[in-house]
């Protein structure tokens, strides 16, 4: 797994297991299906560079809101 994917995966695990969001929330934000997110997590396919930027922004904003 490359560095950007690993960073996303770690952020996803943190937020998902802390109960602060669901996969469907991220899927809705990106305009993809929850199944697509699951495929990315299982490394069957990869998000585009643009999607990785959006994912990082979404999870970083989520982290900021959750810490308030």
Domain-wise residue ranges, the chain: 3-66
Place 60 in a pLDDT band, splitting at 50, 70 and 90. confident
Is the pLDDT at 68 greater than 60? The verdict is no
Q: Pick the more confident residue, 56 or 64.
A: 56
- What are the distances in angstroms from CA 36 to CA 2, 10, 25, 45? 18, 17, 13, 8
Average pLDDT for 59-66: 71
Highest CATH level, class, for 3-66:
mainly alpha
Residue recorded with tokens 């994912």: 55
Q: How confident is the model at residue 63 (pLDDT cuts 50, 70, 90)?
A: low
pLDDT in tens, 2-58: 787 788 778 777 777 777 678 898 999 999 999 999 998 888 999 998 998 898 888
């Amino acid at each position: 797994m490359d560095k950007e994917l690993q960073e996303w995966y770690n952020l996803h695990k943190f937020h998902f297991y802390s109960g602060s969001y669901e996969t469907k929330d991220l899927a809705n934000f990106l305009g993809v299906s929850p199944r697509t997110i699951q495929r990315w997590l299982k490394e069957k396919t990869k998000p585009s560079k643009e999607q990785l930027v959006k994912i990082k922004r979404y999870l970083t904003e989520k982290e900021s809101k959750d810490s308030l």
